[in-house]
Amino acid sequence: PISQAIAQRFIQDGYPSKINLAGIDTQVGFKLFCEDKKVDIVNAVRQITSQELAACAKSGVEPIDFQIATDAVTIVVSSQNSFLPNSLTRDELAKVFTVQKWSDVNPKWPKELIKRIVPAGAGTGGSVDLFAQTILQGNISQLTNAPNTIFYDFVEQLHSEALINPYMVGFLEYNSYKQNPDKVRAIAIDKVDPFLSTYPITRPLYIYADAKAIRQRPEVAGFVNYYLTYVNEEISSLGYFPAKPTVLDESKTKFLQVKGNK
């Protein structure tokens, strides 16, 4: 969504050609960028891996990262859920996403099965990994092997389950929650809401570009420069959080250094 907004603004401000955008997983994006050399810029929810760096080096691609925003993974329950408080501790969340029944977490809660709705495979955008690192001490299998767990490819599947099952729980990106806040109820962690900077399940968002493309192709350099200049004006309405001014300044400095290095 951020790149879409920036691309639309870039075109409105006079860029004469078409910009092709694709909503794909970070891993797939890096393959197209490093191995296939079919894309100029990659949106990423994590930093590039050593294997991906090696693939880039083999293809002659020099990936440069620019941190552009922060996203949060938001815990949600059905709007019909009347027993769960608005905030849970990390220990309670760890149990919610691994045990059988709600009463196994707190005996005062219903003796009903917990229906877990979590992102699937390529569609996780790294959110499953991030959740496991933050809440389950990195033990992803605890989450993926938990009983009565369903994996969704599209967030509409989570919304549908929330409408019919008051005993569901799941997580999704904060921007997806913000677009449909009436369909589910967000749960704070240790009394910290997901829209606060101290919320524990957050991750930086990046764009990656080829240093050689920045130096040799004016349209790539122009778009990256435009992105870093206007990103903070676009992201707040999209449900993301701005990178710290110092971080964004580092990205801008990095761009100028790359562009000036002939």
Query: What is the C-alpha to C-alpha distance for residues 256 and 59, in angstroms, rounded to an integer?
Result: 24
Structural contact between residues 90 and 200, judged by C-beta atoms closer than 8 angstroms: yes
Query: What is the C-alpha to C-alpha distance for residues 258 and 262, in angstroms, rounded to an integer?
Result: 8
Bigger pLDDT: 126 vs 250: 250
pTM, two decimals, is: 0.79
Q: Which residue has the tokens 């006079």?
A: 14
Query: What is the C-alpha to C-alpha distance for residues 118 and 75, in angstroms, rounded to an integer?
Result: 10
Q: What angle do CA 127, 232, 119 make, to 5 degrees?
A: 15
Q: Residue 243: what pLDDT?
A: 87
Q: Residue 71: what pLDDT?
A: 87
178 three-state secondary structure = helix
Residues facing 3 on adjacent strands: none
Bigger pLDDT: 64 vs 153: 64
What is the pLDDT confidence band of residue 123, given thresholds at 50, 70 and 90?
A: very low
Q: Which residues lie closer than 8 Å to 56 by C-beta, 6 or more apart? A: 33, 34, 48, 62, 63
Structural contact between residues 213 and 220, judged by C-beta atoms closer than 8 angstroms: yes
pLDDT in tens, 18-57: 899 988 888 899 999 999 888 999 999 889 999 999 999 9
Q: Residue 195: what pLDDT?
A: 84
Q: Residue 124: what pLDDT?
A: 46
pLDDT in tens, 134-158: 999 989 899 889 999 999 988 899 9
Q: Which residue has the tokens 């449909």?
A: 180
